[in-house]
């Protein structure tokens, strides 16, 4: 029997199945309770159970799918029904977060169409994954740059100047130096 080390600490492996084309691992969340997203109350009352098939990174050149048992709870405080939340799988997604990052990294070296064919994923799914991860990385980069700039007093000016009328241009980057106070 093939044994898979998932490295997803929130899940407990219940069962594993090996098929000629893929691996299927049945998992469930370790925690027995979850917080209501509406009121924050901790709930133990299970409303029902469902399974969700989630794609993960390949193992030994075969796709790995997780069959996740998802508990739905009824909050005893506000009576709203909500599902388990997972760190490694976003809400309503059919792939793990590390699979998303893996696909993003793969597309950086080639095209969306090549990755779609190679991993047998719909072109629109690969495109959606790539652009959503790129957007998240751009937002993170913007926050980091904002934090850096808040800590320093930096200003840059960028301009183009004409060397010869209508023929040759050069770009000028100017960083003003802080005025020194002579006290």
What is residue 150's three-state secondary structure? helix
| Residue 127 neighbours by CB distance under 10 Å | 16
CA distances from 57 to 27, 36, 63, 122, 148 (A): 15, 30, 7, 16, 35
pLDDT in tens, the chain (183 residues): 455 677 888 888 888 888 999 999 999 888 777 778 788 788 777 778 888 999 999 888 889 999 998 888 888 888 888 887 888 888 888 999 999 999 999 999 899 999 999 998 999 999 999 999 999 999 998 888 887 777 666 667 778 877 777 677 788 877 766 555 555
DSSP-derived 3-state class of residue 141:
helix
Q: What are the tokens at 169?
A: 């241009």
Closest residue by Cα to residue 11 from 93, 66, 62, 53 = 66
On whether the CB atoms of residues 74 and 17 are closer than 8 A, the answer is: no
Rounded to whole angstroms, what are the CA distances from 177 to 28, 145, 152, 161, 170?
Answer: 59, 20, 13, 21, 22
**What's the alpha-carbon Rg for the chain, to the nearest Å?**
25
Distance CA(64)–CA(19), nearest Å, equals 10
pLDDT at 1: 43
Q: Which residues pair with 17 in a beta bridge?
A: 24
List residues bridging with 151 in a β-sheet. none
Q: What is the pLDDT of residue 104?
A: 95
- 3-state helix, strand, coil split of the chain in percent (to 5) is 25, 35, 40
């Amino acid at each position: 029997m093939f044994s898979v080390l998932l490295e997803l600490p929130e899940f407990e492996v219940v069962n594993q199945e090996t098929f000629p084309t893929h691996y299927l691992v049945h998992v469930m969340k370790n925690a027995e309770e979850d917080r209501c997203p509406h009121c924050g109350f901790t709930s133990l009352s299970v409303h029902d159970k469902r399974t969700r098939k989630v794609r993960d990174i390949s193992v030994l050149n075969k796709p790995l799918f997780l069959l996740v048992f998802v508990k739905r709870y009824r909050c005893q405080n506000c009576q709203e029904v909500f599902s388990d939340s997972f760190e490694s799988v976003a809400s309503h997604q059919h792939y793990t977060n590390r699979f998303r990052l893996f696909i993003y990294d793969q597309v950086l070296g080639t095209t969306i169409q090549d990755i779609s064919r190679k991993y047998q994923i719909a072109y629109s799914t690969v495109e959606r994954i790539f652009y959503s991860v790129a957007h998240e990385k751009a937002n993170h980069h913007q926050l980091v740059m904002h934090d850096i700039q808040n800590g320093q007093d930096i200003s840059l000016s960028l301009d183009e100047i004409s060397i010869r009328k209508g023929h040759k241009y050069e770009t000028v980057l100017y960083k003003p130096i802080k005025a020194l106070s002579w006290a």
